[in-house]
Amino acid sequence: MKSNAIKNMTVGSPMKLIMNFWLPLFIGMLFQQFYNMMDTMIVGRTLGPKALAAVGGTGSINFMIIGFCMGVCNGFAIPVAQSVGAKDESSLRKYVANSVWLSSVFAVISTIVVCFLCRNILIWMDTPSDIFEGSYEYIFVIFLGIPVVYLYNLLSGILRSLGDSKTPLYFLVISSLLNIVLDLIAILVFNMGVSGAAWATVISQAISGVLCLFYIAKRYPVLKISKEEWRPNFWFMQKLCMMGIPMGLQYSITAIGSVVLQTAVNSLGSMSVAAVTAGNKISSLFCCPFDAMGSTMATYAGQNRGAGKLDRVTDGIKTCSLIALIYSVIACVVLIIFGEELSLLFVDGKEIAIIKDAAILLKWLSIFYFPLALVNIIRFAIQGLGFGTLAIFAGVFEMIARSIVGFIFVPMFGYIAACFASPVAWIMADIFLIPAYFFVIRKLKRESANIMVQ
């Protein structure tokens, strides 16, 4: 590549490369979770537990739809990373151009469909009547913002594929601070309720996306796409869809189990919904390192596959797993000791039952953080190697596990069963992913050996 701005992850120490790439990405995701958490904190502390439950009750359907959008964009970035590793600038630009066309179409269709079905989805999920309207107000606005989800995630994914994990961080910091300010203005000044928190999130992410767009246009001359390269190309679109759609479906399939589980939790009442909301928000913050490891391994594996250096991918997985194990132990200790105190960020101290239930959820989730880390590290490595369809099956395993817990065990054992749904899902996914990774590596090495013989 001619541009010095592109970071090559195919040479050098895997530990150093992964740490340098992962750390800014982790901080960026931390800020992203932080401003998402601020929505919930401000809603819970200013509007009360019912409003908190209203926002939290949309979490699983939010993850299913927005997760698909994010997954598609992350999948689109994989051929870009492979082109970087292969030093193929022409293909790089064509992949970027065609990903823009596809993202635009997906964004329009997704927004129209889910906004139209929004109220029906909440009915199907058995959303408690005392939080139904609040849930609808919040999630409808979030779904209106689907185009900006595509804008930011596509551009940040392209930047990461080029080896730049720092720039998205800077824009997320700006967006996070702006989100907090907009939250307070919308809720406290304009009395917009839960919809104000949703608008704050959408506007903040839109600003992050626009900043990424201007930065890419100025910083990366290698991405100055010609008129010819802008023309839609079926072959490139097909390759992008083969990567993006399976990755998006993986998120959505995983989320189907979460929707089933959320429906089961909804049947326990709005206070249980509030406890799960608080616990999951805290847990999401502590899980940011695992999310960053996944995105790191997608870029790392993609570039090294493009360069034909498969052994480096395995070395990278070992490095990431070691970092994850150390962090998992630390996070588990912190959440077990301080779970109740952290829950006070979301609800008033007098809500004793909610606080205790949230702490119970945090304890059981944190004990199983290392299996979650492996899910992210191995699944994204498989996707970076170009086997996105295979990685879908991990989502299927997670969906089945959460659905079984939601359909059978929550009605039998109540809230405590819901606490074990995600740990069971993570373990089931690992049972599939670990053998799948070794299958992928062996397959790629055989293909490489055959090419050399020929």
Highest mean pLDDT among 13-27, 243-257, 406-420, 439-453 belongs to 406-420
Q: What is the pLDDT of residues 94-149, one digit of tens each?
A: 999 999 999 999 999 999 999 999 899 888 878 888 888 888 999 999 999 999 99
Rounded to whole angstroms, the Cα distance separating 72 from 154 reads 8
* pLDDT score recorded for residue 368: 96
Q: What is the pLDDT of residue 3?
A: 45
- Angle (deg, nearest 10), helices 49-56 and 270-286: 60
Give domain status of residue 145, yes or no.
yes
Domain count, the chain: 1
Specify the pLDDT at position 171. Answer: 82
**Is 321's pLDDT higher than 80?**
yes
* Residues in CB range of 106: below 8 A, 6 or more apart: 69, 72, 150
| 369 CA to centre of own chain | 16
Concatenated DSSP letters for 378-413?
A: HHHHHHHTT-HHHHHHHHHHHHHHHHHIIIIIHHHH
Segment 60-100, tens digit of pLDDT: 788 788 888 888 888 888 888 788 877 878 888 899 999 99
Look at residue 103 and tell me if it is in a domain. yes
Residue 194 in domain: yes
Is residue 52's pLDDT more than 50?
Answer: yes
| pLDDT of res. 77 | 85
Helix (H, G, I), strand (E, B) or coil at 269: coil
Question: Is residue 8 domain-resident?
Answer: no
Distance of CA 431 to the CA centre of its chain: 21
Residue entry with tokens 């050098």: 12
CA distances for 328 relative to 283, 288, 300, 347, 368, angstroms: 12, 11, 22, 26, 8
Q: What is the pLDDT of residues 366-389, one digit of tens each?
A: 999 999 999 999 998 998 888 877
7 within a domain of the structure (yes/no): no
With beta carbons less than 8 A apart as the criterion, state whether 270 and 131 touch. Answer: yes
The rounded radius of gyration (Å) of the Cα atoms in the chain is: 21
Asked whether residue 386 is assigned to any structural domain, the reply reads: yes
pLDDT of residue 18: 87
The one-letter code for the residue type at 283 is: S
Query: Which residue from 178, 165, 204 is spatially nearest to 6, judged by alpha carbons?
Result: 165
pTM over 0.85: no
Q: Is residue 286 part of a domain?
A: yes
Position 452 scores a pLDDT of 57
- Asked whether the beta carbons of 157 and 76 are under 8 A apart, the reply is yes
Q: What is the pLDDT of residue 414?
A: 87
Which amino acid type is present at position 369?
Y
Residue 6 within any structural domain of the chain? no
Write the CB contacts of 161 (distance below 8 Å, at least 6 apart in sequence): 77, 78, 80, 81, 84, 299, 302, 303
Domain with 159 in it: 14-453
